[in-house]
Amino acid sequence: MARAAKSRPLRDVADLTKAQAKVEHMRLALELEGHDKRYYQDDAPTVTDAEYDALRQRFNAIEKRFPEFVSAESPSQKVGAAPSGRFKKVRHSIPMLSLDNAFAEEDVRDFVGRIVRFLKLDDDKVDFSAEPKIDGLSMSLRYEGGELVTAATRGDGAEGEDVTANIRTLEDVPQKLKGRNVPDICEVRGEVYMTKKAFLALNERQKAAGDTIFANPRNSAAGSLRQKDPTITASRPLGFFAYAWGEMSAGAMPEDTQSGMIRWFERCGFKTNPLTKLCHSVEELLAFHHSIEEQRAKLDYDIDGVVYKVDRIDWQERLGFVSRTPRWGIAHKFPAERAMTVLRDIEIQVGRTGSFTPVGKLEPVGVGGVIVQNVTLHNEDYIKGIGNKGEVLREGRDIRIGDTVVIQRAGDVIPQVVDVVLDKRPKDAKEFHFPKKCPCPLHTDVTREETAAGEEGSRARCTGEFACPYQKIEHLKLFVSRRAFDIDGLGEKQLQYFFDEGWVKEPADIFTLEKRNSKLKLEEIEGYGATSVRNLFGAIESRRKIALERFVYALGMRHVGETTALALARGYGSWDAFHDACLKVARGDEEAMAEMDALDQIGDTVIKSIADYFGESHNRGIVERLTKEVEIIDAEKPKSNSAVAGKTVVFTGSLEKMTRDEAKATAERLGAKVSGSVSKKTDLVVAGPGAGSKLAEANKHGVKVLTEDEWLKLIGE
Ligand code: IVH
């Protein structure tokens, strides 16, 4: 980024050089992401709709001129973002939840087994509706008195966007439900999708007109639905399959099975997926999966697996939900998609804690709708083909620069190399030699340590700690990240820039940026501007107050992840108490160590890491300067005077008045310990309908059993 003349008016997109456009594109992408988050998640927008639209328009204009900037991550491609304007929010009367995933046959057998046990059936004669899992956007259509009144996207499950005007343009969505005896209130749910053929044709048209090119049919369906102008949606061929329901007037369920409901949707005028099938056993479910997978490539719409649902609705109701997914249904996904490409180079990335991760630089290749250019190679032994047991990389394969590799990507999982095509290995393929020095300018020595559980091989680490600039920047990135200080508009690239310029060397510097800005003049950075700078300072200011657990996590101590940070925050309650304990632990104070050790989830590794961190004067300085800038909010200490303080509680069966997570959180807040299994040490078991083996265990050990209501009475709620 180069500095430009002072307070420039916005240049016409047509006059930007490619480099300038790139910087602005990046900045706008971050800015839009921030605004979307504040609008959709925090309900606290900081700009007007008109200002937002202007940013979007400029962003779209840049992408239109330089289509090569479009990536799958661009806000123009995001399913959760609006290409133009915003839509009214709609609260779902019944949340739109998601399904748990099964990948292996075993997962499906376990799923059925759990159902049979839960329902205490004598045999496994459960009927399932088996349906293709359409890779589109789920939609909830609300009919009142038989007329379509609202169409809403899933959003975060609780609240979606009102896209009624656009949905009305879909041929597959009836404006009025057919048939008599339609429930007065009736929400039909299903998937909006675009056919592969329509997607390809649309992209051709978009290309010719210089408009956004979509990465896959799902993105193009999302983009087509989120148009401010319904005539645009009308020009895009979108389909809809009905497969579920939300609110229905009391006592008006038209059918008592999932398969019956599907037939009822058809009678109402909806399309349902023609491959849907009623299955009577696990074997039939697996055969269905296999058969659909074989047909997948030939289908004219994208699917990413199949869905199994218990057919009887009364059983679905008894089975209920575990946190956010139903016990009565599961998505059986298809295996990860694979692609072949060439490994061009291997680079070393130095993480926040100094550990080295070799990253494979690939000849870009599309896998499952995403362009992949980087792939993690884990560690030295993995590259040598000796550090794995063939679980990921095919056994005995070593990886060389120049090799043709097979990469795999499953869902959100980071892509991995799963095989090396030896036949294609060029004569000049280069073996990779792991560096003996850190690639940072200090060239510090490298040590080795055993990797975390579950990962094979040893990990190389830089010994430079905070003196190593790579570690410093990674640490700063963690500091501003979503789960730590969550500073909008200070993305990785900006941070790197501020760091390279020497403006932000440690966390406290972020909070003094505004004070120093009369000298720094951030608004003069090319591609920045007065508004972005004002927004950035606003975002920083709003984060000056921070919860203790986030603060502890943001310090970036090794082995102190979010859960550990929360346990520490709850254990000590205030920053002063925690800080005092850390300093004592660092001095080897045995009493302080024992006190920390007594906390739930805290053990030797964490204590040693805290001692190391606070044993370093450099770190103590960083913390001291930072605490002068921010206000740390005390954590809620678990109550010690409640009826259940100190007791070990197990929840089993289905709870009706609260979710499991809620029940657990409340119990913990009241000082109880929540466990997943019953033993002699358990004090109380709270059993809801459907409780099985845990209830039996409780009776065996003579543990006191309460109903949900009795529990609520005990805790006074
Ligand atoms: S039933 C409680 N049936 O998959 C959730 N979902 O992870 C009930 N999907 O958000 C959903 N095809 O977008 C269901 N035949 C089908 C589906 C399907 C695709 C999507 C849907 C949902 C996600 C669930």
Nearest alpha carbon to residue 36 among 57, 50, 20, 52: 52
> What integer pLDDT is reported at residue 152 of this predicted model?
96
Question: Mapping DSSP to helix (H, G, I), strand (E, B) and coil, where does residue 331 land?
Answer: strand
Provide the pairing of β-strand 458-462 with 446-450: antiparallel
Measured from the CB, is residue 307 less than 6 Å from ligand 1? yes
Amino acid of residue 356? F
Please report the pLDDT score of residue 45 as a whole number. 63
Ligand 1 atom 18: the closest Cα is on which residue? 133
Whole-angstrom Cα Rg for the chain = 28
Q: Are 442 and 468 in contact (CB under 8 A)?
A: yes
Distance from Cα 121 to the centre of ligand 1, integer Å? 26
- Whose tokens are 């956010």? That residue is 324
Give pLDDT tens digits for 513-545.
999 999 999 888 877 788 889 999 999 999 999
pLDDT per residue as tens digits for the range 423-471: 999 999 999 998 888 888 778 778 776 554 434 456 788 877 667 888 8
407, 362 in Cβ contact below 8 A?
yes
Q: Provide mean pLDDT across the span 664-691.
A: 85
- Separation of CA 156 and ligand 1 centre (Å): 14
Under the banding of pLDDT at 50, 70 and 90, the label for residue 75 is confident
Output 375 or 656, whichever has higher pLDDT: 375
d(C-alpha 649, C-alpha 704), whole Å: 10
The structure tokens 């466990």 sit at: 675
Cα gap 678→696, rounded to integer Å: 9
Residues 398 and 381: beta-carbon distance below 8 Å: no
Q: At what angle do helices 196-208 and 217-225 cross, to 10 degrees?
A: 70
Contact present, 327 and 317 (Cβ < 8 Å)? no
Alpha helices in 598-702, H assignment, sequence order: 604-615, 617-629, 660-669, 693-701
Q: CB-hemisphere CA count at 13 Å for 201?
A: 9
262: Cβ below 6 Å to ligand 1? no
φ, ψ for residue 357 (rounded to 5)?
-125, 120
DSSP string, 258-299: HHHHHHHHHHHT----TT-EEE-SHHHHHHHHHHHHHHGGGS
Q: Using an 8 Å Cβ cutoff, are 137 and 368 in contact? A: no
Spatial contact of 140 and 158, defined as CB atoms under 8 Å apart: no
Torsion on CA atoms 495, 496, 500, 504, rounded to nearest 10 = 20
Check residue 80 and give its pLDDT: 42
How far apart are alpha carbons 4 and 28 in whole angstroms? 18
| Residues in Cβ contact with 641 at an 8 Å cutoff, skipping those fewer than 6 apart | none
Pocket test for ligand 1, best of 98, 272, 302 (most atoms within 8 A of CB): 98
The atom of ligand 1 lying closest to the CA of 331 is 7
> What's the rounded Cα separation, in Å, for the pair 94 and 250?
13
pLDDT of residue 444: 77
CB atoms within 10 A of CB 457: 18
Cα 189 to middle of ligand 1, angstroms: 9
Spatial CB neighbours of 564, under 8 Å, sequence gap ≥ 6: 601, 602, 606
What average pLDDT score do residues 202-214 get?
76
What is the token pair recorded at 17? 């050089």
pLDDT of 273 reads: 98
CA-proximal residue: ligand 1, atom 5 (nearest): 98
- What pLDDT, on a 0 to 100 scale, did the predictor assign at position 609? 86
Is residue 286 within 8 Å of 105, Cβ to Cβ? yes
Query: From CA 432, how far away is CA 417, in angstroms rounded?
Result: 15
**DSSP per-residue letters across 152-220:** EE-TTSSEEEB-HHHHTT-TTS-SB--SSS--SEEEEEEEEEE-HHHHHHHHHHHHHTT-PPPSSHHHH
Q: Kindly state the greatest CA–CA separation across the chain.
A: 79
pLDDT digits (tens, 9 = 90+) for 19-36: 888 888 888 888 888 877
CB 341 within 8 A of CB 362: yes
Q: Answer yes or no: are the C-beta atoms of 237 and 185 closer than 8 Å.
A: no
97 close to ligand 1 (CB < 6 Angstrom): yes
pLDDT for 455 equals 44
- What residues contact 105, with CB distance under 8 A and at least 6 apart? 286
Nearest CA-CA partner of 360 in 390, 397, 403:
403
| Per-residue model confidence (pLDDT) at position 414 | 67
Of 97, 103, 138, 139, the residue with max ligand 1 atoms within 8 A of its CB, to mutate for a pocket test, comes to 138
For residue 96, what pLDDT is reported? 93
Ligand 1 pocket, 133 CB below 6 A? yes
Confirm or reject: Cβ of 191 under 6 Å from ligand 1. yes
Tell me how far the alpha carbon of residue 194 lies from the centroid of ligand 1, in angstroms: 16
Tell me what the mean pLDDT of segment 532-559 comes to. Answer: 93
Quote the DSSP letter at residue 434.
-
pLDDT digits (tens, 9 = 90+) for 399-408: 999 999 999 8
Chain-centre distance of CA 309, in angstroms?
A: 25
Q: Does the C-beta of 671 come closer than 6 Å to ligand 1?
A: no
For residue 40, is pLDDT > 70? no
| Ligand 1 close to Cβ of residue 126 (< 6 A) | no
Contact 187, 94 (CB under 8 A): yes
Helix (H) or strand (E) holding 495: helix 492-500
Q: How confident is the model at residue 412 (pLDDT cuts 50, 70, 90)?
A: very low
3-class secondary structure, 604? helix
Q: Which helix (H) or strand (E) holds 497?
A: helix 492-500
Q: How many CA atoms lie within 13 A of 120 on its CB side?
A: 7
What are 292's two structure tokens?
């659909």
pLDDT at 413 over 90: no
Q: Where are the beta strands (DSSP E) in 637-702?
A: 648-652, 673-675, 684-687
Give the C-alpha distances (Å, rounded to integers) separating 154 from 93, 177, 320, 542.
12, 22, 20, 29
Instruction: Give pLDDT tens digits for 381-401.
Output: 889 887 555 556 777 789 999
Contact 158, 95 (CB under 8 A): yes
Which atom of ligand 1 sits closest to the CA of residue 273?
15
Return mean pLDDT, the chain: 86
Distance CA 641, CA 190 (A): 49
Strands of 72-213 (E only): list them: 89-91, 101-102, 128-134, 137-144, 147-153, 159-161, 185-194
> Dihedrals φ, ψ of 641, to 5°?
-110, 15
Going edge to edge, which strands form the sheet with 238-248?
A: 147-153, 137-144, 185-194, 238-248
- How many of the other CB atoms lie within 10 Å of CB of 15? 8
Give the DSSP letter of residue 419. Answer: E
Read off the tokens for 548: 């203790």
3-state SS, residue 199: helix
- Asked if the model's pLDDT at residue 81 lies above 50, the reply is no
CA distance 186 to 682: 45
Pair 356, 460: CB distance under 8 Å: yes
Give the integer Cα–Cα distance in Å for 101 and 325. Answer: 10
What is the per-residue pLDDT for 232? 85
Given pLDDT bands bounded at 50, 70 and 90, which one contains residue 82? very low
Structure tokens at 342: 């060439």
Q: How far apart are CA 65 and CA 13, in angstroms?
A: 8
Are the C-beta atoms of residues 443 and 437 closer than 8 Å to each other? yes
- Would you place residue 50 in the very low, low, confident or very high pLDDT band (cuts 50, 70, 90)? low
- Predicted confidence at residue 3, as pLDDT, reads 37
Inform me whether the pLDDT recorded for 6 exceeds 50.
no
Catalytic residues: 133
Task: Ligand 1, residue 101: give the atom nearest the CA.
Answer: 7
Which helix (H) or strand (E) segment holds residue 370: the answer is strand 370-376
Q: In whole angstroms, what is the distance from residue 363 CA to residue 45 CA?
A: 40
Residue nearest to atom 9 of ligand 1 (CA): 133
Regarding the beta carbon of 193 and ligand 1, being less than 6 Å apart is answered no
Report the residue count for the chain: 717
Count CA within 13 A, CB hemisphere, residue 584. 14
| Buried/exposed code over 645-660 (b: 16+ C-beta within 10 A; e: otherwise) | eebbbbbbbbbeebeb
- Could you report the per-residue pLDDT of 148-173, keeping only the tens digit for each? 999 999 988 888 999 999 999 999 99
Structure-token pair, residue 201: 């044709």
C-beta of 218 in contact with ligand 1 (< 6 A): no
pLDDT tens for 113-148 read 999 999 999 888 899 999 999 999 999 999 999 999
Give the Å distance between the CA of 98 and the centre of ligand 1: 6
